[in-house]
Amino acid sequence: MRLKGWIEHDGVRLTTAELERMLAANPKSPARCGGEFLLEWDDCTARDNLGIMPGPVPPGTICCGGRPVARVNPDPPPCSLEEAIVTAVELRSDEGVVAFSGGVDSALIAHLARLPCVTVGLPGSHDLAVATKAARTMDLDLTVISPGKDEVADALSRIIRVIPGSLNPVDASIATTLYFVVALAKEQGHTRILAGQGADEIFGGYARYLSSTDLAAELERDFADLPRQRARDQAVAALHGAYFSMPYQDLRVLRAAHTIPASMRVRGGVRKYPLRVIAERHIPAEIAWTEKKAMQYGSGIYRTIRNLACDNGYKKSIQRYLTEISRAEHDH
């Protein structure tokens, strides 16, 4: 039996021995399990229901002998959003690091997990200042990475080789930022990186939501894009034999969040309102309620990629620069 990630049943993490006993008794037993996992045994493979963990079978599927035999469909008991978030982080906190930017998403995870934190931020960048201050306020163990232009160029060439589909400037800068988090995590002996991915789409975090004419529809469209984003991020993590663990995309959290109307997620000009209300009960209010730049901009990585494009003769189009790198890498 080989397990990548972790697996649980009704909020209880399963040990290797427990899994082996379950599988011996019933090969379809992972059908009721949650977690973030790719489980392989005999001629069978099972993958978690949301497909957080990459694998050769479709998300939420148990395949034996090359054919689907069951669906992975866990059904944890209903709980409040706060209980869901606390449980989701707790289940993931036995190992790993937290991708930390100092914003409410990662700050709440970091406080609950009490794991080492990693921040990517160029000297003078917004995220470097915010994360350093937040870590000091919250007494977190923080490591800061400030990559130079050559390191960013190298990382960019590596991620372009593995990310599925064409790469736009925003995806490129997010993936490059995450690349440095994963590299440090692996250097420190960790394979799991807890991250706040999905919080913006689930709770209404993007600035454009403030002027949306149909917030519910826009949230639904962005939520539907999460599988693509997960594939991007996990492809980057796989470069270092690691994976991203996503508490906000836990089934419990998704169920609780989806009961909250769109009008309550962006409320009174405040984005991610329900998440901030919960966060204030756990972390300092100034961190819970302060707005923060998106990671790709706050870290300074987007600006560095733009400068690299200019240096290479693409002053007006980062996209053309990325296309040229992609063509060169694939030709190579």
Q: pLDDT (tens digit, 9 = 90+) per residue, 101-112?
A: 999 999 999 999
Say whether both 91 and 220 belong to one domain.
yes
Q: For residue 101, what are the contacts with CB-CB under 8 A and spacing of at least 6? A: 119, 127, 130, 131, 196, 292, 295, 298, 299
Count of CB atoms situated within 10 Å of the CB of 223? 16
The Cα 174–Cα 154 span in angstroms is 15
Q: Examine the pLDDT at 159 and tell me if it is beyond 80.
A: yes
In a domain, 237, yes or no: yes
Q: Examine the pLDDT at 181 and tell me if it is beyond 90.
A: yes
Say whether both 105 and 156 belong to one domain.
yes
Q: pLDDT (tens digit, 9 = 90+) per residue, 259-278?
A: 999 999 999 999 999 999 99
The whole-number average pLDDT for the span 291-310 is 88
In a domain, 312, yes or no: no
In a domain, 131, yes or no: yes
Give the model's pLDDT for residue 330.
Answer: 65
Say whether both 169 and 284 belong to one domain.
yes
In a domain, 219, yes or no: yes
Count of CB atoms situated within 10 Å of the CB of 93? 18
Q: pLDDT (tens digit, 9 = 90+) per residue, 187-209?
A: 999 999 999 999 999 999 999 99
Asked whether the beta carbons of 138 and 111 are under 8 A apart, the reply is yes
Say whether both 17 and 124 belong to one domain.
no
Give the model's pLDDT for residue 115.
Answer: 97
Say whether both 107 and 236 belong to one domain.
yes
pLDDT band for position 332 (cuts 50, 70, 90): low
* Coil/strand/helix, residue 207: helix
Of 43, 71, 99, the residue at which a domain comes to its end is 71
Give the model's pLDDT for residue 296.
Answer: 84
The whole-number average pLDDT for the span 38-51 is 96
pLDDT band for position 291 (cuts 50, 70, 90): confident
CATH number for the domain harbouring residue 102: 3.40.50.620
Say whether both 64 and 86 belong to one domain.
no
In a domain, 12, yes or no: yes
pTM above 0.85, yes or no: yes
In a domain, 324, yes or no: no
Say whether both 105 and 224 belong to one domain.
yes
The whole-number average pLDDT for the span 106-133 is 94
The Cα 105–Cα 107 span in angstroms is 6
Its domain, for residue 64, covers 2-71
Q: CA-based diameter of the chain, in Å?
A: 63
Q: In terms of pLDDT, which residue wins out, 125 or 165?
A: 125
The whole-number average pLDDT for the span 114-143 is 94
Say whether both 173 and 222 belong to one domain.
yes
What does the radius of gyration of the chain's CA atoms come to, in whole angstroms?
A: 20
Say whether both 262 and 131 belong to one domain.
yes
In a domain, 305, yes or no: no
The whole-number average pLDDT for the span 282-294 is 92
pLDDT band for position 331 (cuts 50, 70, 90): low
Q: Examine the pLDDT at 60 and tell me if it is beyond 70.
A: yes
Give the model's pLDDT for residue 212.
Answer: 94
Say whether both 67 and 86 belong to one domain.
no
Extended strands (E) in the chain: 2-9, 12-13, 34-41, 44-47, 61-64, 67-71, 97-99, 117-120, 142-145, 192-194, 243-245
The Cα 21–Cα 65 span in angstroms is 20
Of 38, 71, 104, the residue at which a domain comes to its end is 71
Query: Structurally, how many domains does the chain consist of?
Result: 2
Give the model's pLDDT for residue 328.
Answer: 75
Say whether both 36 and 165 belong to one domain.
no
In a domain, 307, yes or no: no
Say whether both 123 and 96 belong to one domain.
yes
Of 42, 71, 100, the residue at which a domain comes to its end is 71
